[in-house]
Amino acid sequence: MALHAPEPPATSLAAARDGVRELAAGGSIPPLARAERGAEPVLTHPRRLYQIDRDDLLAGAALSAARPVLWRYTVELDGRAVAFADTMTTPDGSDVLAQVNYGPFVAGITEALEAAERNEGTTDAESRLLHVPALHLIAVWLHAPSGEDRLLPATPAPEGMEPGRSYPLESILPELVARARALPPARRGGAEGG
């Protein structure tokens, strides 16, 4: 038994690969623009990113209300993660490059995925990513058939949550709900990020 991730659709992978190549050729991805000439970016570790909003957390929906919003690929250069390429499915059913992210969550998510492999590698679980925009939280979500799901927050993690630490869902979910409940109404929701 081990961690696994479903294969993304071929159209998603093609959209990410072609989009990254086009942006890299135009110098629009700073980590790739600084790369040695001829260095080719490689897409690895596709993960489905799920999102849950504040209202669903407060409704007690657990993570059953989390919805898949995009596929996230690690963009590597010379074996090092430098960015993420995200694809989404449009209303007409086609997959497109939604964004390329080279901010602080690149290292944080990469480290959380490595911690999951090190510490949970014998667990039978699907490796996903979870985004809680209202709490500025991105975590590796180990979704187990047994129902014993775990979350590993990525750096930068909300205060009081240890990045890369594996939290049983039943122990961290009440904390997430309490944090969502404490938010002022103006902080509800949030744009996709990470």
8 A C-beta contact, residue 75 and residue 84? yes
pLDDT confidence band for 11 (50 / 70 / 90) = very high
| pLDDT tens column, 30-43 | 877 776 666 788 99
Assessment of whether the complete model's pTM goes beyond 0.95: no
Look at the block and give the residue holding tokens 């930068």. Answer: 156
Say how far apart CA 172 and CA 168 lie, in whole Å.
6
R_g (Cα) of the chain, nearest Å:
17
| pLDDT tens column, 91-148 | 999 999 999 998 888 999 999 999 988 887 667 899 999 999 999 999 999 999 888 8
Helix (H, G, I), strand (E, B) or coil at 109: helix
